[in-house]
Structure formats: C-alpha cells, structure tokens
Amino acid sequence: FRDETGKTVRLGDYFGEKPVVMSLVYYQCKMVCPEEINGLVSALEMVKFVPGRDFNVVFISFDPTETPEIASREKAVYLKRYGHPGTAKGWHFLTGQQQGINAVASAVGFQYARVPGPDGRMDQFAHASAIEILTSEGKVAQYYLGVEYPPNDLRLGLVEASAGNIGSPDRKSVV
C-alpha cells in the first residue's frame, strides 16, 4: 500500500503493539463512506483513548485508482473534524493496488462491486458500511456495522482487542 504521503507501507506496519480500528472505504465516495468516517470520528471524540498512543486508525481505499494525494486531502479533512492535530501519527489513509485490496477485503469479509454512476460511467461502488477492530496481531476482534458507532461499544471493543480477545468466532488474520 501507499500512505497519504506516498510512502510505500505494509499493512503489518500498523500492528504489533496496539489494536487497530480499520475500515475499507473509497475516498471519493459521495454517499456512505463520508458518513462512515464521520460516524467513527464522532464516536472517537467521546472515547478517552488516543489514536497513535492507544490504537491506530487505518482507512484503506478499495478503489485502486485513488492516489496518495486524495488520501492526504481526506486525512486533513477528518483530522480537522476530530480536532486533535497531535494525533495525526495515529491516523493512516492508504491506497493500493487491486491485489492488496482484494487480500484485505477477503480477510475481513468485505464485499463491494463497481456500479455505474448517474452518468453511466462505472465510477461508483456498492458496498456495506462497517468498521473492524483488530488485535495488535491483526486478528479481527469486532465488527461494527452501519455508520454510527456507540462510543462505549467502541471503547470496550478496543479494550478487548488490546487484550487479544476476539469478540467473534471468525479468527481470520489481516496481516
């Protein structure tokens, strides 16, 4: 993958010491993805854990045509919305090639399909909305569906994941 600065990274770079809140989105989405990211930001505003210190936030674009420049703009928007610029090192907006995207999507059970937009071009995606909390080892611990995430549930999910506990029978590893 490439991060928002254009640097080549491995997804595993964000694991090892702390849990990860991850979501597959596409940054140029006009409907569900902004709601999903805003929902996460709103919930995190009410959680006393700190991105970068206590956990990482990783967004992965499932649109292989998106660039680090687009990811950088999105990161700036949501960091401003979150209001804690000192946490920037805990927020990661990744882009990648189809093979890597497919591997991550498959590992977390995320499905999406390219669909025509209003002008008939295949420039939109149909997809579910969810975030995943992963343990520091990269195992899926919790799924949260929708675009709003109760802060207490998110906090408890991070506590469980930081202890390596899995809240789901699915023990797939992302890394």
Strands 91-94 and 56-61: parallel
pLDDT value for 174: 52
Please state whether the predicted TM-score (pTM) of the whole model is above 0.85: yes
Residue 172 banded pLDDT, cuts 50, 70, 90: very low
Count CB atoms within 10 A of the CB of residue 81. Answer: 12
Beta-carbon contacts of residue 162 (< 8 Å; ≥ 6 apart): 18, 19, 54, 55, 135, 136
Distance of alpha carbon 152 from alpha carbon 163, whole angstroms? 17
DSSP state of 154: H
Q: What is the pLDDT of residues 38-58, one digit of tens each?
A: 999 999 999 999 999 999 999
Q: How many residues does the chain have?
A: 175
Backbone CA torsion sign across 58, 64, 68, 73: negative
Q: In the structure, what pLDDT confidence band is assigned to residue 171 with cuts at 50, 70 and 90? A: very low
Query: pLDDT tens digits for 63-85?
Result: 999 999 999 999 999 999 999 98
Q: Distance between CA atoms of 81 and 118, rounded to whole angstroms?
A: 29
* Token pair listed for 21: 């809140």
